[in-house]
Chain A
C-alpha cells in the first residue's frame, strides 16, 4: 500500500448544532492531486479549515504522514508541512509582494534552499517576479491568486490545500493557475483542491470526491470528466 500523506478518519466539523462535515474518510497518497467538489455549503471549505486547525474538529482524526495533527494550532500544522491557499486569497494588501512572499517562509522548517524555491515560484509565476516592490493591493485578481499560491509554496509544504483558486478569475487565468498546479504536483507536492469548477477539477485531479451536505457522495476519475449527467446527478443528490 502506498504511503498515505494525509488521512481524514471520521472527520466531523460542527458550527453549533449544525454539522458542516460528517464522518468524512479521505486518504491522499504522497504526490497525488485530489479534488473535492460539491455545491455551496457542502462542507468543502470546512474540511480544509479543519485540516488546517482553523476550525475545531468535533470528532474524528486528521493525520499527516501517519501522525495525528488533530487539535494542533494552525501555525503548528503549517510548520508540520501543510500550506493552505485560502478562499479569497487573503494576501496582505498593505504589504509588498516581496513581504507577502517572506511571510510564506514563516512555516519553513529550515532556511536552506530559499533562493532555489524563490526561483522555482518565479518560474511558475513570472508576473510575481516582476512585481516584488508593488503593494499586494495593486495586483490584479489573477496575480493575487498566483501570489497566494507562491506564498504557500515558499513554506516548502508536503501538502498544499487550495480553496477555490479559480474563484472570480477569467477563464484564461484559470487555465494558467491549473497549469501551475500540475507543475507543482510534478514537483512532488501532494495537493487537495477544493473547487466549484467540476469539469476541469475532475479532468486534472487523480481522483475527485463529491461532497454534499457534509458527506462524501461519489468518487470520480479523469475518465468521468465529460460525463456531465453523472456530475450533475452528484451535485443534485
Chain B
C-alpha cells in the first residue's frame, strides 16, 4: 500500500513539474529561449502569498496570479524584447542575469531566512481513501495540474492565438509574413507561462511552506532537466519529460530514507545521464538527433 501511496505522491509532483516544463516550453517554442529566470516568477508568487498571508486565501491567490503574470510580461517587455535580435547566447545570459537580479532583490527585501506561507495550509490534511492516506494538496495538485495542462492543450489546439503560437513555434518568419503579430504571440506565451508559474507558486508553497530567495532555482533546474530528457523540440514531449522527472524524484525520494536523501539529486541526475546516453534525442522524441560537436 506504501508503494501505491508513493505512486500517488509521485504523480502529483510530476504534474507540478509538468506545469513548469510547459511554462518553459511555451516561451522556448516562440523565442527559442530557455528562460532560466522562470523559477524567480514562481518565487515572486510565493512571496506574494507570504506578504498577503493575513488576507483571505482567495485574495492572496488572485494577487499571486496578478503579480506573477505582470512580472512575466514585464520581463518580456523590458529584458527580452530589446534583445530579440541578439544571438541565442546573449539571450540565454540575459535570463541568468534576470534570475540573479530577482534573487538578489528577494534577498534584500525578504532576507535570507525563510518565510513560512500558510495559505491553504488546510490542504496538508490527509483523507483516507481505501486505506490510502492522501493529502488534499496531492489531490488538488493532480486536479489543477491536469486541468491546466488540458486547458493549455485546448488553447493551443482550438483557438486562433493557439494556432498562431504553434505556427510561430514551427517557423516564426513565415508566420510573420502571413500576418501573425510577433509581439502579440510572444507576449501571450509569456502570459500563459506566467499563469502556469503562479499556479506552481500556489501548489508548491502548500507542499513546501518555506519560501527562500532561491526557491525557484531547483524547481527550474529539475524541470529543465525533465524538458531535455523528454525532448525539447515538442511541447508534449517536454511536458512528459517534466512529469517524468517529478515522478522519478518523488519515487526515488520515497525509497531513500534519512541521511541517504541528500543523495537524491545526484541519483536523479545520474539517471538523467543514463537516459541521455541511451536516447540523446530525449526519452519521448521520435528520431534520435545526431549532433556533431567536435
Contact = CB atoms under 8 A, between A and B. Distances in A.
Interface of A: 52, 54, 73-75, 78-79, 83-84, 86, 90, 92-95, 99, 102-104, 106-108, 151-152, 155
A234 B156 CA distance: 50
B184 to A, nearest CB: 9
B174 A90 contact: yes
A81 B174 CA distance: 16
A92 B167 contact: yes
A75 B163 contact: no
Nearest to A109: B179
Contact of B178 (A73, A93, A155): A155
Nearest to A102: B163
A94 B234 CA distance: 11
Contacts of B180: 75, 103, 106
Interface string B151-192: 000000000100110110011011111111110000000000
B177 A92 contact: no
B59 to A, nearest CB: 39
B176 A75 contact: yes
Closest 10 pairs between A and B when the two form their complex, measured CB to CB: A107-B179, A106-B179, A78-B179, A74-B176, A90-B174, A75-B176, A106-B180, A74-B177, A75-B181, A106-B178
A137 B137 CA distance: 44
A92 B181 CA distance: 17
Contacts of A94: 166, 170
Contacts of A90: 171, 174
B153 to A, nearest CB: 15
B106 to A, nearest CB: 36
Given A73-B182, A75-B181, A75-B182, A103 B176 contact: no
Given A73-B182, A75-B182, A103 B167 contact: yes
Q: Is the interface of B mostly helix, strand, loop or mixed?
A: helix
Contact-residue size bin, chain B (C-beta under 8 Å from the other chain): 10 to 19
A86 B166 contact: no
Given A78-B178, A95-B166, 19 more contacts: A54-B173, A74-B173, A74-B176, A75-B176, A79-B179, A83-B178, A86-B174, A86-B177, A90-B174, A94-B166, A94-B170, A99-B163, A102-B163, A103-B178, A106-B178, A106-B180, A107-B179, A108-B179, A155-B179
A151 B160 contact: no
Interface in B221-238: none
A52 B163 CA distance: 22
B181 to A, nearest CB: 5
Nearest to B173: A54
A84 B177 contact: yes
A74 B181 CA distance: 9
A78 B177 contact: yes
Contacts of B176: 54, 73-75, 78
Contact of B160 (A52, A93, A102, A155): A102
Given A74-B173, A86-B174, A92-B171, A103 B181 contact: no
Given A94-B170, A95-B167, A103 B175 contact: yes
B170 A92 contact: yes
Interface centre among A83, A93, A99, A103, by most B CB within 10 Å? Answer: A103
A79 B160 CA distance: 16
Contacts of A73: 176, 182
A94 B169 CA distance: 11
A60 B174 CA distance: 24
A75 B181 CA distance: 6
B25 to A, nearest CB: 15
Contacts of A83: 178
A126 B166 CA distance: 26
Nearest to B176: A74
A75 to B, nearest CB: 5
A120 B285 CA distance: 40
A73 to B, nearest CB: 7
Contact of A106 (B164, B166, B171, B173): B164
A54 B175 CA distance: 11
A64 to B, nearest CB: 14
A151 B178 contact: yes
Nearest to B160: A102
A75 B173 contact: no
A104 B178 CA distance: 6
A136 to B, nearest CB: 10
Contacts of A75: 176-182
Nearest to B179: A107
A107 B178 contact: yes
A203 B258 CA distance: 84
Nearest to B234: A94
